[in-house]
Amino acid sequence: MRDDELDVTDVHQRARTGPVPEDRAIDAAVDSAYRRARDRHDGAVADYIPVLAGADPDAFGLCVADVDGGLHEAGQTRVPFSIQSISKAFAYALLCEAVGHHEVRELVGVNSTGLAFNSVIAIEMNDGHPMNPMVNAGAIATTALLPGGSPDGQWRFLHEGLSRFAGHELILDDEVYRSESGTNQRNQAIAALLHSYGRMRTDPAEAVDVYTRQCSLRVDARDLAVMGATLADGGVNPLTGDQVVSADVCRDTLAVMAASGLYQTSGEWLFEIGLPGKSGVAGGLVTVAPGKVGIGAYAPRLDAAGNSVRGQVATAYLARSLGLNIFASASHFHREDTP
């Protein structure tokens, strides 16, 4: 989204390298971001997964979780929805913790495809390599590599890990799981193609089933903010104090999110917002300001790339008003100090 589409051109871009402002300032920024974004009615609810088409198009929740455990909320932050592709970032973090930096980089990759999240062409163009864990091919390959010894064991490992990120047990949405299982032929084809190139060590159908369950876990905007804040604070959940993954894993995960987290518009997102983020087609969006906060948004109307319209507008406002952009800095040159 361009600056005019985000409607934040009148928001002062603060350059800040220190901590986020005090709680009252965050609360005020969240309220302003929510009020600004709720007037956006463009975009469309995803319908290629039948159950997602029934979402309330006007639902909207926004939450900021700071690394000290503070929660700052506006709107419908407790409305549940399926995590969908946002799970990719956290499954990748769990794999990096279990397997290690170098092997995951070799097997899954870190480079953006520049193509749609479910592209088959991207696989063929890269000799069967999944390229990165934020597109479906890389996410399925990531899930297939998880420890556990069996599909059920991998699911237990994944379910427990994602729940630790959220700070409580996440529930599988059976209706979403059934709906996705009946319409995931493209993911099955992607997995079969990866298997044909020797890029997948397990049964492709079983890997897709675990991946489908992963995407069907139920979260809300508050959960996403806490999960993002866990990545922001070196892998420590700000509510439970649980060390979910290491700080090195957080660094690797955030780097991949920054490069590929919003599909083919990831470059525009990083240019405008300047933060690692990950979207999901149910309308969720998680954004991370390292060392500071996690931002969780839920609004089902999506742009053409599959990213929440209101979520992007609200996050852009917060990034600018709170000085979160990781590329922003203030000059330390003071003319009066010169001879």
* Domains contained in the chain, CATH given: 3-81+220-328 (3.40.710.10), 85-215 (3.40.710.10)
Cα 77 to Cα 299: distance, rounded to the nearest angstrom: 10
Given the residues 8, 20, 82, 88, the one annotated as active site: 88
Amino acid at 95: L
pTM over 0.75: yes
* Residue tagged active-site, from 177, 263, 298, 317: 263
DSSP 225-254: HHHHHHHHTTTB-TTT--B-S-HHHHHHHH
Q: What is the distance between the alpha carbons of residues 109 and 68, in angstroms, rounded to a whole number?
A: 33
pLDDT band of residue 3 (cuts 50, 70, 90) is very low
Determine whether 120 is an active site residue. no
Establish whether 132 is an annotated binding residue.
no
Question: Is there a catalytic annotation at residue 281?
Answer: yes
End-to-end CA distance of the chain: 45
Is 281 annotated to bind ligand?
yes
Quick: pLDDT tens for 294-334: 999 999 999 999 999 999 999 999 999 999 999 887 766 65
Closest CA to 240 of 181, 167, 303: 167
Rounded to 10 degrees, what is the CA torsion of 304, 46, 216, 90? 20
- Report the distance separating Cα 202 and Cα 188, nearest Å: 13
8 A C-beta contact, residue 295 and residue 3: no
- How do residues 167-207 score in pLDDT, each as one tens digit? 999 999 999 999 999 998 888 888 887 777 777 778 989 99
Active-site residue, from 34, 92, 177, 211: 211
292 is catalytic: no
Ligand-binding annotation for 272, yes or no, is no
211 in a known ligand binding site: yes
pLDDT in tens, 117-138: 444 444 444 444 445 667 788 8
317 is in an annotated binding site: no
184 is in an annotated binding site: no
* Residue 211 annotated as catalytic: yes
Out of 64, 67, 85, 119, the active site residue is 85
